[in-house]
Structure 1
Amino acid sequence: MSLKIVKRGRIWYIRGSVAGQHVYESTGLGEKRAAEAKRARREAELVQRSAHGATATLTFAEAAAVYMESGGETRYLTPIIEHFGPRRRLADIDNRAVNACAAALYPTAATSTINRQVITPISAVVHRAALDDPSLARRFQRRREPQGRLRWLTPEEAERLIAAAPLRVRRIILFLLGTGCRVSEALALDRPQLHLESSEAWIAKAKNADPRMVILPARTRRALAASELPKAGAVFRTPKGERYKVRGSNSGGQIQAAFNSARDEAGLGADVTPHVLRHTWATWYYAATRDFGGLMDFGGWRKADMANRYRKLAPSDLPRRLLKHGWDFGANFVQPETDESGNRSENRSVG
């Protein structure tokens, strides 16, 4: 039995069986000649798949659908799927095809953008397909990114930023500086995931889908404990008391305006963004502890080369300066009490 087209309302549908597979699907077309052409292509595809196996004819669009249904990141996939179209076989996607896709979608983009928005999502789709059929496994060449200066804040710069920020944003800044969380991870934090008694926070909605527990240094914990935290829902909220809408993982656009205002008042440059606070935590944490395993675990990095960038950034006096400003990342360490603006009091407590 072959396929045929039947009209339902204004739309033609494909119906029938080929190679033992029953089909009933919309063409999305109202013009009969175009619908007939689509039927012929669909029938040829099913015959080819029957003869050569599903893997040989698996399209990128089909593989991407499986990847997304499995919980994969969808953010950058739509333009890639549209570029390759519904018929491009996954087996035909090689480095040349990836480069052509990058040139078509982002002709003037930076190397980092190509890696993040083209090569990484394509690699993820292929990797997921290879779980079902190892013969599909392959690697794509990432573009070498220039290693620029990694911006981080000195304790003194951080104090100026904290002092200049409004209370609502100040608490977020203190949380980011104390934990190294990405902005999206912090804004997604719910009250039951914040454990002030044990100075911990459970990051359930992590960028790489690997939840983790982070440790709150005493200064961060005290700032949160002094806040009127909600009993349920989001810990950090908009001026209207609403949950932030999380878009992306690193940009910090949700708090950008208030952050930029505080940054400018603090006399810091435009290169200081909310994500710089993650670089700052990593630099501080490693300088204070020399614990590379903790750096990777608490920072949520899967690859050592990502975390390794922070091992050679800090001057030798950074641990002392951190303690001076109330930042203790060590275990059972006595540190000076500070309020949210960094002013020392006479009381001392164990972090």
Structure 2
Amino acid sequence: MPLRKFRRNGIWYLRGTVAGQRVYESTRVGDETAAEALRIRREGEILERVSLGRRATATFAEAALTYLESGGEGRFLAPILAHFGPRFRLADIDNDAVNACARALHPAAAPSTINRQVVTPISAVYQMAAEDGLVAHRRFRRRRVDDARLRWLTPDEAERLIAAADVRTAAQIAFLLGTGCRVGEMVALQRRDLHLETGEAWIGKAKNGHPRMVRFPARVRRMLAAHGLPEAGAVFRTPKGKPYVQRANGGGQIQAAFNAARDKAGLESDGPRKVTPHTLRHTWATWYYAQTLDFGGLMDFGGWEKADMANRYRKIAPAWLAKALVDTGWQFGNSDHAGIPAGQETKKSAG
């Protein structure tokens, strides 16, 4: 029985059964000619799927829904779905389609932004669909990131930034420099998950959905203790003593106070070397690897799932950095882990 259309409150709807599939849905249009074209196309899609199978006709939108229902990260998917639309076939997602999406959504964006906001989410949806047998596995080409423009702070610049900040902001800067946390992860940190005695913090609300334990140097412990910590609730708070509002795109919560300290310290406020709160994450990664040469620890404590994201920091640190960090009190690794000898640390659980 073919689909029939009917009108309700000025909008045309489709109803009926085609090849055993029952349909009752809105066309979202009020023009009858357009509604008729949509009716014909919808019938054709159903018949095509019946004859060719789901593998040949699955859409990117369907795969994205499965990905999200499975707990996948949906932060950047909305504009991608809007670009491809509800009918774009999963099998048609290739490097050309990804490039077209990048040009449409982020025509002037840096390569790292394209990788993070386009290539990575599309690849994640596609690879899960491949695991479900809907498409063949494939790799998508990532943009090459110019590591020379990967801004990080020297120990001297970090000292100037901390000295220029108020006590509350200085403690936040120190925590980010000492842990590599993202701003959103920091402002979500609860007092019960901060362990000053061992120099650890449990990041339960991680960006990628995978909680982790991070460590921080003794200098950070001293600054946090001097700053004063609440007995319960959020560790880091606004100037009015209120918990920060959680946002999908972290960083903005401390932006004003951070920018004031940055400008006072004479650090770059624009251009490719602009210093932002996220620069502190780059700095931690550069410092940590320069001093420890521990790539596994870099990935684990930094919360990176893929080595190519963390691998950049292996290449950019100068030879003098490790000693300069020790001289300024930024010591990473077991030797500075609350004074506990290597191999004798006891990790605390999330609970």
Sort the TM-score into its range (normalised by shorter chain). 0.7 to 0.9
Matches within 5 A, 1:124-273: 124-133=124-133, 135-240=135-240, 241-249=242-250, 252-270=251-269, 271-273=274-276
Q: Shift of the alpha carbon at 1:213?
A: 0.3
The C-alpha deviation readout for 1:170-194, integer Å capped at 9, x for no partner, is 1110101111112222122222222
> 2:346 aligns to what?
none
Tell me whether 1:322 sits opposite 2:296 in the alignment. no
Q: Shift of the alpha carbon at 1:20?
A: 1.6
Asked whether the 8 Å contact 1:11–1:29 carries over to 2, the reply is: yes
With 238-247 and 125-134 compared, the bigger mean Cα shift is at 238-247
> 1:291 aligns to what?
294
Q: 1:226 to 1:85 in 2, by over 3 A?
A: same
Asked whether the 8 Å contact 2:287–2:322 carries over to 1, the reply is: yes
Report the AA paired with residue 101 of structure 2.
C
Report the AA paired with residue 265 of structure 2.
A
The C-alpha deviation readout for 1:98-146, integer Å capped at 9, x for no partner, is 2222333333333333333322222122112112115342222223233
With 294-303 and 162-171 compared, the bigger mean Cα shift is at 294-303
Asked whether the 8 Å contact 1:217–1:329 carries over to 2, the reply is: yes
SS at match of 2:27: strand
For residues 91 and 110 of structure 1, the distance between their equivalents in structure 2, rounded to whole angstroms, comes to 28
Asked whether the 8 Å contact 1:94–1:140 carries over to 2, the reply is: yes
Q: 1:102 to 1:172 in 2, by over 3 A?
A: same
Identity %: 65
Q: 1:243 to 1:311 in 2, by over 3 A?
A: same
Asked whether the 8 Å contact 2:73–2:208 carries over to 1, the reply is: no
Q: 1:294 to 1:107 in 2, by over 3 A?
A: closer
Q: 1:122 to 1:311 in 2, by over 3 A?
A: closer
Q: Shift of the alpha carbon at 1:266?
A: 1.7
> 1:345 aligns to what?
none
With 46-55 and 152-161 compared, the bigger mean Cα shift is at 152-161
For residues 141 and 9 of structure 1, the distance between their equivalents in structure 2, rounded to whole angstroms, comes to 47
Tell me whether 1:311 sits opposite 2:280 in the alignment. no
The C-alpha deviation readout for 1:46-90, integer Å capped at 9, x for no partner, is 111111111211112222222233333333322322222222211
Report the AA paired with residue 259 of structure 1.
F
Report the AA paired with residue 329 of structure 1.
F
Q: Shift of the alpha carbon at 1:208?
A: 2.6
> 1:22 aligns to what?
22
For residues 305 and 38 of structure 1, the distance between their equivalents in structure 2, rounded to whole angstroms, comes to 44
For residues 14 and 332 of structure 1, the distance between their equivalents in structure 2, rounded to whole angstroms, comes to 69
Asked whether the 8 Å contact 1:191–1:233 carries over to 2, the reply is: yes
Matches within 5 A, 1:95-134: 95-133=95-133
Report the AA paired with residue 246 of structure 1.
R
Which ranges of structure 2 fall in alignment gaps of 5 or more residues?
A: 340-351
Q: 1:316 to 1:48 in 2, by over 3 A?
A: closer
The C-alpha deviation readout for 1:298-341, integer Å capped at 9, x for no partner, is 112233343333335445554443333332324354999xxxxx
Report the AA paired with residue 269 of structure 1.
E
RMSD: 2.5
Asked whether the 8 Å contact 2:286–2:314 carries over to 1, the reply is: yes
Q: Shift of the alpha carbon at 1:218?
A: 1.5
Q: Shift of the alpha carbon at 1:233?
A: 3.1
Which ranges of structure 1 fall in alignment gaps of 5 or more residues?
A: 337-351
The C-alpha deviation readout for 1:207-236, integer Å capped at 9, x for no partner, is 332221001221212222333433443221
For residues 136 and 296 of structure 2, the distance between their equivalents in structure 1, rounded to whole angstroms, comes to 33
Total equivalences in the alignment: 334
For residues 299 and 20 of structure 2, the distance between their equivalents in structure 1, rounded to whole angstroms, comes to 51
Asked whether the 8 Å contact 1:188–1:246 carries over to 2, the reply is: no
SS at match of 1:148: helix
The answer to which structure has the higher strand fraction is 1
Q: 1:313 to 1:54 in 2, by over 3 A?
A: closer
For residues 337 and 117 of structure 2, the distance between their equivalents in structure 1, rounded to whole angstroms, comes to 45
Q: 1:17 to 1:323 in 2, by over 3 A?
A: same
For residues 212 and 197 of structure 2, the distance between their equivalents in structure 1, rounded to whole angstroms, comes to 18
Deviation >6 Å, runs of 4+: none
Q: Normalising by the residue count of structure 1, what TM-score does the alignment of the two structures yield?
A: 0.85
Asked whether the 8 Å contact 1:283–1:310 carries over to 2, the reply is: yes
Asked whether the 8 Å contact 1:328–1:335 carries over to 2, the reply is: no
